[in-house]
Structure 1
Amino acid sequence: MKIFCASLALSASLVFFNLVATPKTRAVLTSDGALPVATPTPLTRPRTVGTASSQPDLGPGASLHGRQIFPADNPWNQEISNAPVDPNSNQIIASIDADARLHPDFGTVYRGAPNGIPYVVVAGSQPLVPIGFRSYGDQSDPGPYPVPRNAPIEGGAGSDGDRHVLVIDRDGWKLYELFAARPLNNGMSWNAASGAVFDLKSNALRPDGWTSADAAGLPIFPGLVRYDEVFEQREIKHALRFTVQKSRRAYVFPARHYASSDENQNLPPMGMRVRLRASFDISSYSTANQVILRALKKYGMFVADNGPSWFLSGAPDPRWSDADLSLLKNIKGFNFEVVRMDRIVTK
């Protein structure tokens, strides 16, 4: 995440934590809040496609079995395939780089660590721990948060990158997110630059002008490409998340915060949504990649942070095929168009 405030600029990390359990592992949480190492489920095990009424699993990268994030009428779940194109679409796409390639910023392993933004699903009984904020406490939701002692950190324990920590309480159906998170006292408390709590049963937004654990003031988790959706549900029913190298000093709904001082109107504001053009032929792609590409046509993706342009976010999983995901790089910026923006906030 990069937040334009007191010249803070933290580059997005491309290396991530090393998980032992796979997303199908059911980890039992201990009384002290730790997530013990569990035996991975064999990949040859017959898979049952979950339904929206199924209970999410517990543990790092756990399957949600189709349970919907946010209400059906939430912006993340809004279909935009027939929405008007923004009149400034071509100029904005050019400013992002029309010739740059889409980059799946997730997969199996990159430079020795799992590749993607991790998450962990916990039970409602997960112990709450104190959270201290060192940078944006005035724009953060106060703790305590139900963060396990060994919750997965983006980039791993030694990362100097964004160090996001995402926790989903499956019983309370709430999302807890931290930016630049570091465990203290062996994880009995945590320190972070910023943090946000989202009620996944509600459409409530952050206060106007507030950041979150992401630059745009949006939640991170709903915008991730996840293995369980691609291979179990075989459908992604929500918008995704991507980054741009240069953004505008502005934001549009549902974003609540900008991360730039540049007022160039051809630059993308935070919260801007793009979609893959309807005319783009996806028939030559694998079944898995077609799931992702259909979502990009139907729901699009939000500008959520500053970072390398056209980097599409997802959660790591050892079962991804990196070779197959890399074929998404054949898609370029000019294959996208900007969905019409209404009120652009520049204050």
Structure 2
Amino acid sequence: MKTATLLLCVFTACALAQHPELKTGPNADLGGALLMPAGDEWNRDVSKDEVDPLSDAIIAAIGAEKGLHEDFGLVWQGQPGGIPYYVVSGDQPKVPVIFREAKDESDPGPYPIPPDAWIEGGSQSDGDRHVLVLDKDNWKLYEIYRAFPLSGGKEWQAYSGSVFDLKAPKPRPAGWTSADAAGLPIMPGLARYDEICGTKKLAHALRFTVKKSRRAYVPPATHFASPHKDDNLPPMGMRVRLKASFDTSRFSGAAKVILEGLKTHGMILADNGGDWFISGAPDDRWHHEELLPIRQVKGRELEVVKMGPMTTR
């Protein structure tokens, strides 16, 4: 009995201290840690998967001659480009979040959002205004969209929000959004400096956007955000990868790490935005000129990984 109790205590202690070595704060270095379990869809090796029959048509619809574009690592309108996040400990006080437009598809608060949480685009932004918070001790992710602090951050107002248990993540209910158009978590799909330039290995799929998506979604997505029904437009959740035949030997540094990762894990369509725009987290250590070479890679060098069942309702 004593042995069983001891083992239970040890297990509980481990469960409550998932990553005690991580620092807290805005865009804290994660040391290359994978956010999702090894077998999760975000981390899956898709290099051997079949090509979707609609691949050529979809690539053409997005832009076969358009290049990849890094949506991070630069300054845009006076603010660091990218989607920021905040790492907190398990004792971070939770505050109420008032959901407006997508209240019925949002996970209710409270959320452990610090009053000085970094809002995407800055406090004056009229854009997506994402706020992402990672609880390093309970290994949970809290994300809200169109976030506005009230009463100095004692509570928040948002369009939508979602909570993901990163130890055992579950998809959103069918038809539900999240803080992202596709109903997916955002943070696991961001390009982070600690991976790209730290461990020098990209071990998960990246998040990307297109200007015009289809009124449809495929797994792992659970939601669409478009009125367009053209079969050649990309559905939310669609994954593309860099063709195995693409020669990356002329690339180096951060650009090469990203491109090699796109061969293995690809990138998942998660929102509407710029065509072939890849999402990443802000970090003062990015050297933008090291990322620019990925723009040489055109849409025709990509292919759509065979898609699963499509929801179009």
1:314 aligns with 2:280: yes
TM-score (norm 2): 0.92
Secondary structure of 1:302's partner? strand
RMSD: 1.2
Q: Which residue of 2 aligns with 1:113?
A: 79
Q: Unaligned 5+ residue runs, structure 2?
A: 1-17
Partners of 1:179 and 1:214 within 8 A in 2: yes
Instruction: Give the aligned residue type for 1:194.
Output: S
Per-residue deviation at 1:54? 7.3
Aligned pairs (5 A) from 1:120-135: 120-135=86-101
Q: Which residue of 2 aligns with 1:141?
A: 107
Instruction: Give the aligned residue type for 1:246.
Output: K
CA distance in 1, matches of 2:52, 2:22: 38
Per-residue deviation at 1:55? 2.4
Secondary structure of 2:152's partner? coil
Give the aligned length.
296
Deviation beyond 3 Å, 4+ runs, structure 1: none
Per-residue deviation at 1:318? 1.5
| Worse-matched range after superposition: 240-249 or 283-292 | 283-292
Aligned pairs (5 A) from 1:1-12: none
| Worse-matched range after superposition: 248-257 or 227-236 | 227-236
| Worse-matched range after superposition: 106-115 or 92-101 | 106-115
Pick the aligned partner of 1:92 from 52, 55, 58: 58
Pick the aligned partner of 2:141 from 175, 179, 184: 175
Per-residue deviation at 1:94? 0.4
CA distance in 2, matches of 1:268, 1:242: 12
CA distance in 2, matches of 1:252, 1:340: 10
Pick the aligned partner of 1:252 from 210, 214, 218: 218
TM-score (norm 1): 0.83
1:75 aligns with 2:37: no
Aligned pairs (5 A) from 1:291-302: 291-302=257-268
CA distance in 2, matches of 1:233, 1:121: 19
CA distance in 2, matches of 1:293, 1:54: 31
Secondary structure of 1:264's partner? coil
Q: Unaligned 5+ residue runs, structure 1?
A: 1-51
Pick the aligned partner of 2:199 from 223, 226, 233: 233
| Worse-matched range after superposition: 324-333 or 138-147 | 324-333
CA distance in 1, matches of 2:49, 2:307: 10
Secondary structure of 2:262's partner? helix
1:328 aligns with 2:294: yes
Instruction: Give the aligned residue type for 2:183.
Output: G
Instruction: Give the aligned residue type for 2:132.
Output: L
Seq. identity, %: 57
> What whole-Å deviation, never above 9, does each CA across 1:223-277 have from its counterpart, x for those lacking one?
1000011122111111000001111111000000011121111110000000011
Aligned pairs (5 A) from 1:130-209: 130-209=96-175
Instruction: Give the aligned residue type for 2:152.
Output: N
Instruction: Give the aligned residue type for 1:218.
Output: L
Secondary structure of 2:291's partner? helix
CA distance in 1, matches of 2:174, 2:149: 29
Q: Which residue of 2 aligns with 1:57?
A: 23
CA distance in 2, matches of 1:214, 1:53: 26
CA distance in 2, matches of 1:170, 1:318: 22
